Structure 1
Amino acid sequence: MLLVLGIVLILGALFAARWAIWQGFRVDRVIEVGSPGDYGEAFTEATIPAVGGKRLFGWLMSAGPGAPLIVVMHGWGANAESMLPLAVPIRRHGYSVLVIDARSHGRSDQDNFSSMPRFAEDIDSALDWAALLPDIDPHALAVLGHSVGGAAGLLAASGRENLRAVISLSAFDHPETVMRTYLSRAKVPYRPIGWMICRYVERIIGHTFDDIAPVATISRIRCPVLIGHGADDLMVAPAAASAIFARATSPMAELAILDGTGHDEAGCFERISLVLTDFLDRSFKAREAISGGMPAGP
């Protein structure tokens, strides 16, 4: 009888853990209520083909034919509108900007679950779509991502050769670290239960944490990359940015710990826009010099 009861309790605990994990992959969708027009910016709505026959929603703010284009990705549970305080100053500086919603976020199609690798897939879909636009130079593309979107930007960039720059803001350094933090808060011991949960999550997303971790993907990026982080970030410690930067192999990698900046406040976004546009200008001009005078930026 005690053996049967023990088996029932173990199975119940495993079922509860599985339910909790899948709940963690689901996102409370936040629909945009504003648009770039609220900032006085002209824009067109974009419908972008994505993985699995899904479609992504986005806003394209053009700076004119031939202008470099920056694909901008939000963080977990956010949407394209949340990135406008960063995207609009970049557009006004002379860059075209494509701000997108990840699947299951904003106005993009729903999928069965969300994950950082799926954010990266959506960034890839947006880059591929933008490269086919008649007024866009497919060799003048860059990525800017925030939080989970920042980690996803590094993952997407690690598998591409045609990017001119990558900016990752407020990203975590390793998924296992994030999981261990959540498990600790939930009073779940890492050994053996937490470790088993992490391996189950890897199976769901189809990737090992070690392979997709920003501390790993940055070593596979050859273009200029900026790792930015708020010194006052209470959600992801600034030490994560230092850990990522320490693994960079590109000679054009930079680290910026931004004073007076938190994780995702709109006011912070506006203050750091000069740091981002300066980095983009230098990155595109560096590529222009290497390519022997090819037009490369504003």
Structure 2
Amino acid sequence: MAIPGWLPLAARAAGRGAGARGPRGDRYRHRGRADPRSKSGLSLATRRDRVRVPAGRRHRAVVERARRAPRLRPGGSSGRPRGPARDHRTACGFCGGLGEIKAIKRVSAVLIVLAILAWVLLPVARAYSLVSAQHSEPSVPAGLSVADVTFESTDGTPIRAWLALAKVGAPAIVLVHGFKTSRAEMVPWARFLHDAGYNALLLDLRGAGRSGGATIGLGATEPRDIVAAVQTAGEVFRTDHVAVLGISLGAGAAILAAALDPRIAAVVADSAWTDQDFQLARLGVIDVGPFRLPVPPLGVPAVNAMVGVDVTKARPLDAISRISPRPILLIHSADDDNATTPLDGARRLFAAAGEPKDLWVAPRGGHVGAINAFPDEYRARVLAFLRDALR
């Protein structure tokens, strides 16, 4: 059908007078020019005639078009293939960008919260790793006849031990192992002491071997086990002459036990520690490459809560003077590389101890290794000390 020539002019006049809106709403305005793509001949506006409107209005227009768009119903009679319903968030770049930003913010918030929790809980986790029990099943030593015995520590913790009988009535030596090991570690000492005629009791400290306890006391609770072992050894072997020989953690614990119990006639401390300050200070920092970053000071309180006592008060350096006049022998290797038992610590212990006392610094051997580096001299020194102390 032919379009009257006056119609475009009327449309143009109407557009100028009233600001007529095109078929796309108020997003664009037009000047009434004929558009060959329009069936009616009315203008839809050319590209150069379009007038931009604010982003908020454009967004609302896109939302409205998406809402009004026809959606295909399943089983419809139109015969057209099904398609997904239109969503303005997929059609609108503005909404899509906002969604991505919100998702990134949510992920970032979760990561920040997790990082804070890890930073706060790290010292607690390290404290648990430090004092958690390490139970094991010690193998029966070959070439040494032992009997298994169970007794209670002074606080009721069950303690397991081996008894190596040389002679009823002979002096007895209580042998105390190191950090997170077991009585099996003390078999080399038990052999040469047994061969020399001494009875021996090899105990598993709490939290180690087959003994009870959920934690290791870092020397704060182990003296209880040693005191109970001394009493058991005296009763079983029928002797009043009981000495204690300890290595590493057991050496410091032996000093603390002797300061508490006068029944301990003598002490041999191999590679002893002075305090746990260095060990506990490590709970307050974390190594990140070349840097040491501080963490919340929760490590020491966590250790104290897990162990049940204040471990900072376990200080052999302060207790060793109370052993006198009973004798003490300190043994240390010059090249001890354990950070908690430096050679300087042995010298400080010796200076703080009362008479009678002796210190042997082995030229080499590392931590608790003097018995292997100098076996003959080690045995001779220990046996000579015990012979004088227990006569």
Q: Please give the range of the TM-score, normalised by the shorter of the 2 chains.
A: 0.7 to 0.9
1:216 and 2:323 matched: no
Tell me the equivalent position of 2:131. 25
Tell me the equivalent position of 1:242. 347
Shift of 1:220: 1.6
Rounded Cα–Cα distance in structure 1 between residues aligned with 2:243 and 2:285: 37
1:169 to 262, 270, 295: 270
Rounded Cα–Cα distance in structure 1 between residues aligned with 2:285 and 2:343: 20
Question: TM-score, length-normalised on structure 1?
Answer: 0.81
- Structure 1 contact 183–189 (Cα < 8 Å) conserved: no
- Report 1:98-137 matches (<5 A): 98-109=201-212, 111-115=213-217, 116-133=219-236, 135-137=237-239
Rounded Cα–Cα distance in structure 1 between residues aligned with 2:364 and 2:139: 28
1:180 and 2:286 matched: no
Task: Please provide the CA RMSD for this pair.
Answer: 2.9
Q: Evaluate the alpha carbon distance shift between residue 208 and residue 56 of structure 1 in structure 2; reply closer, same or farther with a 3 A threshold.
A: closer
SS in 2 for 1:234: coil
- Structure 2 contact 283–299 (Cα < 8 Å) conserved: no
Shift of 1:81: 1.3
- Structure 2 contact 256–319 (Cα < 8 Å) conserved: yes
- Report 1:129-208 matches (<5 A): 129-133=232-236, 135-137=237-239, 139-180=240-281, 186=287, 193=296, 197-198=299-300, 200-202=302-304, 204-208=306-310
SS in 2 for 1:144: strand
Aligned residues: 277
Shift of 1:260: 2.6
Tell me the equivalent position of 2:385. 279
Percent identical among aligned pairs is 25
Q: Evaluate the alpha carbon distance shift between residue 130 and residue 93 of structure 1 in structure 2; reply closer, same or farther with a 3 A threshold.
A: same
Shift of 1:8: 8.0
Q: Evaluate the alpha carbon distance shift between residue 32 and residue 26 of structure 1 in structure 2; reply closer, same or farther with a 3 A threshold.
A: same
Shift of 1:32: 1.7
- Structure 1 contact 49–55 (Cα < 8 Å) conserved: yes
Q: Which amino acid aligns with 2:153?
A: A
Mind listing any 5+ residue stretches in structure 1 that lack a counterpart? 285-295
Q: Which amino acid aligns with 1:43?
A: V
Q: Evaluate the alpha carbon distance shift between residue 93 and residue 105 of structure 1 in structure 2; reply closer, same or farther with a 3 A threshold.
A: same
Shift of 1:241: 0.7
Deviation digits for residues 186-229 of structure 1 (CA, Å, limit 9, x no counterpart):
469697845x5335534544554563211111022121111111
| Structure whose CA Rg is larger | 2
Shift of 1:113: 0.9
